[in-house]
Amino acid sequence: MRNIAFALLIGGLVGILGHVRKRGKIIIPRKTKKFIYLGFLEEVFMGAFTAVVLVISADTDSLFRIIFISILAGIGGDAFLKGLEVFRTDPISGNPKDQTNES
């Protein structure tokens, strides 16, 4: 249980650091007419989730290994979100796919 708590904490912190590195500031969650933008929480959840999954699958009791795996998982969560952005945008125009271009 302690391993999971450390993984959540460290993965979430690395997610926040990745968000600040990518955006330059912390963007708070907000609700628009069509969807809810999670802001920095998106990276926190993804970093924490991937850290917990990797720590559980690694089945380690060493605190150093838990910290190391959690940091790598937080960075990997950020890479996963970048991969999802490729699917959200049109590769030719760079516009989101759900919006239509009216000229």
- Taking only the tens place, the pLDDT of each residue in 37-92 is 788 888 888 888 888 888 888 877 788 888 888 888 777 766 666 676 666 655 56
Contact 69, 40 (CB under 8 A): no
pTM of the prediction?
0.67
Proportion of the chain above pLDDT 90, given as a percent: 0
Q: Which tokens in the block code for residue 15?
A: 């997610």
pLDDT at 99: 47
Residue listed under structure tokens 């926190």: 44
Q: What is the mean pLDDT of the chain?
A: 76
pLDDT at 78: 65
Residue listed under structure tokens 């460290």: 10
> What does the alpha-carbon distance between residue 98 and residue 103 come to, in Å, rounded to a whole number?
16
Proportion of the chain above pLDDT 70, given as a percent: 74
Q: Which run of H or of E encompasses 47?
A: helix 40-58
